[in-house]
Copies of this chain bind each other. A is one copy, B any other.
Amino acid sequence: MDMLPIIKELSQKTPSKILLVVLDGVGGLPQTPGGPTELAAAHTPNLDALAQKSALGLLTPVYPGMAPGSGPGHLSLFGYDPFKYLVGRGALSAIGIGAEFKDGDVAVRGNFATLDAAGLVKDRRAGRPSDAENRRVVDRLKAAIQELEGVQVSFYTESEHRFVVILRGEGLSEQVSDTDPQKTGVPPLQAEPKTASDESQRTARVLNRLSERIREVLADEPQINGALFRGISERPRFPLLSEVYHLTPACIASYPMYKGLASLVGMEVLQVEGVEDAPEGKVKALQENWARYDFFYLHFKKTDSTGEDGNFEEKVHKIELFDQLLPELLALKPDVLAITGDHSTPSVLKAHSWHPVPLLLHGPYLRNDAARRFTEDEAAKGSLGHLRGVELMPLLLAHAGKLQKYGA
């Protein structure tokens, strides 16, 4: 059930400030049965002290057993039902690489492919080229194709065989089928309009013409000589945090995916100084903008990346680095502070997982709590119990005095 319409009716503007810290993929697993998780292994004196005066619980970001991607994981934390508020693959890729992607544009996820002399798909991933090879080919396409039938065409490298096309022009639609046949030995599919509208017919025509042009331009390439299109999608139009929660929200993140997801729900994306995860730049951005917003989404990426790398020790280290920053966050005296993850990324799995993440909630109106540390095991004892990702925002709003009584 979509709770946003109900929450919208109940939420109210107040001066209180909420800080939501997302440690990407922070949940983990023991390396051996009975051993500590990454959080349990980390030396975190500041988090420990905070946990002892906070309420903890476990959060299943999306659904039991489901390892969420970044899209559903984050949308859930922002209160959006991840089974209702869907971001198409093309849109998510466009957002993830920071492509310029506006309302009305259509984003397409492309796979470079190898076609044989008869035009049949020989390799759906063109031998998994390097990113550099991908960039070389994308540069050729950029130089050769800027416009088709009055539609502006932009190419972006994603990674390996993956690239993104943004179509911009009047009268485009996402109601168009994929051209990826999902198997080899057959020709690429024609993009077909899914509706009788002019927009979907026009978009299908442009994409079919684009397939042809890409083959012409890349005809002399030995391996990357074709493209398959998937997940044709417009930029989603979601309710905004300002409308639903009456918040003035800001995003502090370094990676395009998270800035893009935040902008989809109407957060202002703040400038962050520094390279990569830039933790100090993020704290500085938070401090400098503290007076101007009443909701901050503060994202740290490296707890996930190190988990994906299977590097237990390094993930522990990234957790410890966050612990060292924590006093600066507390010094701002947020009325409500939540620390959690968008999903687990256990080093032993080297991937996102379905395990719940710990949630720490600091603010007024807390019950006593048996959890002594911000770890999975301790959070399981916490007074917040076991929540779903979408349930987090109403809880934060309530503790911040921003959610009125439901019903008389």
Return the contact of A353 from the options B73, B82, B353, B365 (Cβ within 8 A).
B365
Q: Closest Cβ of chain B: how far from A149's Cβ, in Å?
A: 29
Write the chain B residue with the least CB distance to A392.
B64
Of residues 374 to 391 in A, which have CB atoms within 8 Å of B's CB atoms? 376-377, 380-381, 383, 385-387, 391
- A398-B29 CB under 8 A given contacts A354-B403, A408-B89, A408-B92: no
Q: Which of B60, B69, B355, B356 contacts A407, CB < 8 Å?
A: B69
Hey, which chain B residues are within 8 Å of A403, CB to CB?
65-67, 354
Is the interface on chain A under 10, 10 to 19, 20 to 34, or 35 or more residues?
35 or more
B residues near A53, Cβ cutoff 8 Å: 33
Residue contact B65 to A396, C-beta cutoff 8 Å: yes
Q: Provide the residues of chain B in CB contact with A72, threshold 8 Å.
A: 406-407
Question: Please, what's the 1-or-0 string for A1-42, where 1 marks a CB less than 8 Å from any CB in chain B?
Answer: 101001000100000000000000000011001100100000
B residues less than 8 Å from A380 (CB atoms): 370, 383, 385
Contact between A29 and B367, CB atoms less than 8 A apart: yes
Q: Are A67 and B405 in contact (CB under 8 A)?
A: yes
A395 touches B (CB below 8 Å): yes
Check A63 for interface membership: any CB of B closer than 8 A. Answer: yes
Chain A 52-85 interface mask (CB, 8 Å, partner B; 1/0): 0100001010111111111111000000001100
Instruction: State whether B368 touches A34 (Cβ < 8 A).
Output: yes
B residues in contact with A62, CB < 8 Å: 406
Q: A99 an interface residue at 8 Å Cβ cutoff?
A: no
Q: Given contacts A83-B1, A385-B356, A386-B386, are A406 and B67 in contact (CB under 8 A)?
A: yes
Which residue in B87, B351, B355, B365 is a CB contact (below 8 Å) of A367?
A: B355
Say whether chain A's binding surface is mostly helix, strand, loop, or mixed. Answer: loop
Interface residues of A in 338-384 (CB under 8 A from B): 346, 348-349, 351-356, 365-368, 370, 376-377, 380-381, 383
Residues of B within 8 A of A58 (CB): 385
CA distance A175 to B396 in the complex (A): 36
CA distance A19 to B233 in the complex (A): 41
Q: Which residue of B lies closest to A28 (CB)?
A: B367
A174 to B128 alpha-carbon distance, docked (Å): 55
Q: Which partner residue on chain B sits nearest A67 by CB separation?
A: B405
What is the bound-complex CA distance between A385 and B356, given in angstroms?
Answer: 10
What residues of chain B lie closer than 8 Å to A408, measured between beta carbons? Answer: 69-71, 89, 92-93, 96
> Given contacts A353-B365, A367-B355, are A64 and B406 in contact (CB under 8 A)?
no
Say if the beta carbon of A226 comes within 8 Å of chain B. no
Provide the residues of chain B in CB contact with A83, threshold 8 Å. 1, 3, 6
A50 to chain B, nearest CB (A): 13
Find out whether the CB atom of B355 lies under 8 angstroms from the CB atom of A405.
no
Max count, chain B CB within 10 A of own CB: residue among A87, A92, A365, A405: A405
Q: Report the bound CA distance from A30 to B366 in whole Å.
A: 8
Cα(A404)–Cα(B87), bound, Å:
17
Known: A65-B396, A83-B1. A377 touches B385 (CB 8 A): no
Q: Does A228 contact B (CB under 8 A)?
A: no
Instruction: Flag if B395 contacts A10 (CB, 8 Å).
Output: no
As a 0/1 sequence over residues 282 to 293 of chain A, the CB contacts with chain B under 8 angstroms (1 = contact) are 000000000000
Choice from B354, B383, B396, B407 contacting A395 with Cβ under 8 Å: B354
- How many angstroms from the CA of A66 to the CA of B395 in the assembled complex? 8
Say whether A394 faces chain B, with CB atoms less than 8 Å apart: yes
Contacts of A392 in B (CB 8 A): 64
Residue of B at shortest CB range from A34? B368
Closest to A352 in B: B405
18 pairs from A and B in contact (CB 8 Å cutoff): A29-B365, A64-B394, A64-B398, A66-B394, A66-B398, A66-B405, A67-B406, A68-B406, A69-B406, A92-B407, A351-B405, A354-B395, A368-B376, A368-B377, A376-B383, A380-B385, A385-B385, A385-B386
